[in-house]
Amino acid sequence: MLLGVNIDHIAVLREARRIAEPDPLDALSICKRAGADQITIHLREDRRHIQDQDAADIIRLSALPVNLECASEPSMIDIACALKPHRVTLVPEKREEVTTEGGLAVVKANDQIDKAIQRLHANGIEVSLFIDPESSA
């Protein structure tokens, strides 16, 4: 089993304070020394926490693979394809949520999700989906 560490909340503190600190980049070496196998960040459409420059810097400077969580919206997939993280996890986004509370509506958004997966794979990026389990009837 591998350990992925989500460093979004460092950016939450920074954005709440409206200053440059703490810097999510500072967490990279701490996570590596602590034994993490992967860094996870969520680049939201509203840029509530992690900003575009954070994502670019983290992906470029991390000694660990980076899992970028993002919506399957074409504009977000454009960013992911440009940044080329190790993996993208497609997640649902609702502006009113503080954090992701449920999985993707895979059946409802199948075409958009399929297109996103195809583009990401074409750019050499692994893909995972954040989905809710279905209970058997």
Going by C-beta distance under 8 Å and a sequence separation of 6 or more, which residues neighbour residue 119? Answer: 77, 81
Q: What percent of the chain has pLDDT over 70?
A: 88
Q: Give pTM, 2 decimals.
A: 0.89
Mean pLDDT of 47-61: 96
Residue 122 reports pLDDT greater than 60: yes
d(CA 62, CA 50): 15
Residue 98 reports pLDDT greater than 60: no
d(CA 109, CA 136): 22
Q: Is 58 exposed, middle or buried (0-12, 13-18, 19+ CB in 10 A)?
A: buried
Ordered alpha helix ranges (H), the chain: 8-17, 26-33, 52-61, 74-83, 110-122
Residue 77 reports pLDDT greater than 60: yes
- Which of these ranges, 29-33, 64-68, 89-93, 101-105, has the smallest mean pLDDT? 101-105
Mean pLDDT (the chain) is 90
Whether the bond into 22 is cis, omega within 30 of 0: yes
Residue 80 reports pLDDT greater than 90: yes
pLDDT of 7-22, one tens digit each? Answer: 999 999 999 988 888 9
